[in-house]
Amino acid sequence: MALGAVASLAMAALAGCVSTSTNGTGTSTGAPTAVTTGGGVAPKDLSGNVVWWGYTPGSPVNEQYIAQFNKDYPNIKVTWKQTSIDDYDAAVRPALGNSSGLDVYQMSAGSANGGVAVFGGSAIDLTPAVQAALGSDWKSKLATTGVSALTVDGQLKALAAGAVFAGTIWINQDLFDKYGLTPPKTYDDWKNVCATFKKNNVGCFVQGANQGAFNIDTLHAIADNVSPGTFIKATRGEVPWTDPNLVKAFQLWKGLFTDGIMQDGALGQMQYPDANNAFMSQKYAMVMMGTWYSQYLIPNVMQSAMQAAGSTDKPFTMIPINFPDIAGTGNTGSLFGDVDYGQGVSAKSSNQEAATAFAVWMGTSTAGQQAIADSLNLIPALKSVTPNWDNVKLVNPDKQQGPEKDLVQRASAVTDNPRFATINADMNQALMQALSTVAAGQATPDQATKTLQQAQQSNG
């Protein structure tokens, strides 16, 4: 019965997709027409209540997605249920045991929240639905990282909404301009920039080093600067963690704490909310964040974030820059990422037809993907869709559009440099521990990498 429902839905999605065309900028020219499906159900006739669990991106963006979805599927009521990032796994685990109260839920790659390796077992296979929606060559139409990261044992457990990439630093361009500074390109540049900011009582670089996932981002960026690809090989067990390039990366990581780059007391602070708030309230000029930060280029979204950080100032001009060449190798501009989240449909859901319609719409329809692209929160999963820059209002288009377009373009081209997909939860923990002990001087880079290697081996 469930299979039949999914098949009929897939047909509906396919029909809807075919009837939707795009213009040159990827903008939807119309909602799917009411089409007859194999089961005789048109999108407008499909009804049901769908409870959608997740942790990102939050209000008001999720409500905007739902409103867009309801233009195509007016009789499906979607209720967004948000938990905090940290509590998501704990909250969704018991909810998945019920047939009601959870229909669609967010999953992500590797050791990130809602990791598909753990939570994918509770989801149906969406392959038939997406195949029907996009055709037999569906894989070529979707970002590779999204498909591979959410496939378990040959089954597509979730449809990626989009991907996020890290490796960038975001800077407050207004503060840089105010003090006549240019974005740092080398380690010496960076130290000089920080010295100038400190002289003017402005914080330089802020990181919540007590929230380890972001430390892993920084290490990854440093390691790619030292030797591109070595970090990923280590996570896959192809290179030992004791590789001299990785030891060097740990040394440079430690240097950020001892050379006045990282703010004092970083190990006692969280990336969210502490570092984020410090940057948003303009107390610090630089922060290690990824493409998910692009959403704050939009004035009203940034204003909300600034208000949440306790600032009543007007939105400021922030732009993404490459991680500085602190190793002096010339290897810069590395971006690494994977699917931010995908929508899975609970195998126990009593609304699977409507739930699958929603998951498929988010991941494959031009309208759904355009909404995601235009929010600048994610790099869309559907390759044909890019942000419609005519529709996207930026705080300072002259200064922001160029760097942002470049970031989106480069991120879309990344094929094999995952962020968390190759790091399981145990290695994630081991990495966070290694980074914090090195930062605090509790372990040397040599000792930390040896411990990491032991953890890797015991993990198989």
Write out the residues near another protein by the rule CB under 8 A.
89-90, 93, 96, 115, 118-119, 121-122, 209-212, 263-270, 273-274, 425-426, 429, 433, 436-437, 439-440, 442
Q: Rank residues 29 and 442 by Cβ distance to another protein and give the closer one.
A: 442
Minimum distance, C-beta of residue 443 to another protein, in the bound complex (Å): 8
Minimum distance, C-beta of residue 177 to another protein, in the bound complex (Å): 24
Q: Rank residues 2 and 67 by Cβ distance to another protein and give the closer one.
A: 2
Minimum distance, C-beta of residue 447 to another protein, in the bound complex (Å): 12
Measured from the Cβ of residue 305, the count of other Cβ atoms closer than 10 Å reads: 19
Q: Rank residues 278 and 381 by Cβ distance to another protein and give the closer one.
A: 278
Q: Rank residues 130 and 213 by Cβ distance to another protein and give the closer one.
A: 213
Question: Cβ contacts of residue 446 below 8 Å, gap of 6+?
Answer: 242, 247
Q: Rank residues 348 and 410 by Cβ distance to another protein and give the closer one.
A: 348
Q: Rank residues 63 and 426 by Cβ distance to another protein and give the closer one.
A: 426
Q: Rank residues 409 and 442 by Cβ distance to another protein and give the closer one.
A: 442
Q: Rank residues 60 and 265 by Cβ distance to another protein and give the closer one.
A: 265
Q: Supply angle C-alpha 224, 230, 233, rounded to 5.
A: 130
Minimum distance, C-beta of residue 247 to another protein, in the bound complex (Å): 19
Q: Rank residues 111 and 230 by Cβ distance to another protein and give the closer one.
A: 111
Minimum distance, C-beta of residue 78 to another protein, in the bound complex (Å): 24
Minimum distance, C-beta of residue 200 to another protein, in the bound complex (Å): 15
Minimum distance, C-beta of residue 429 to another protein, in the bound complex (Å): 6
Minimum distance, C-beta of residue 304 to another protein, in the bound complex (Å): 18
Minimum distance, C-beta of residue 48 to another protein, in the bound complex (Å): 25
User: Could you give the strand order of the β-sheet that contains 318-322, starting from the edge strand earlier in sequence?
Assistant: 203-206, 284-288, 168-172, 318-322
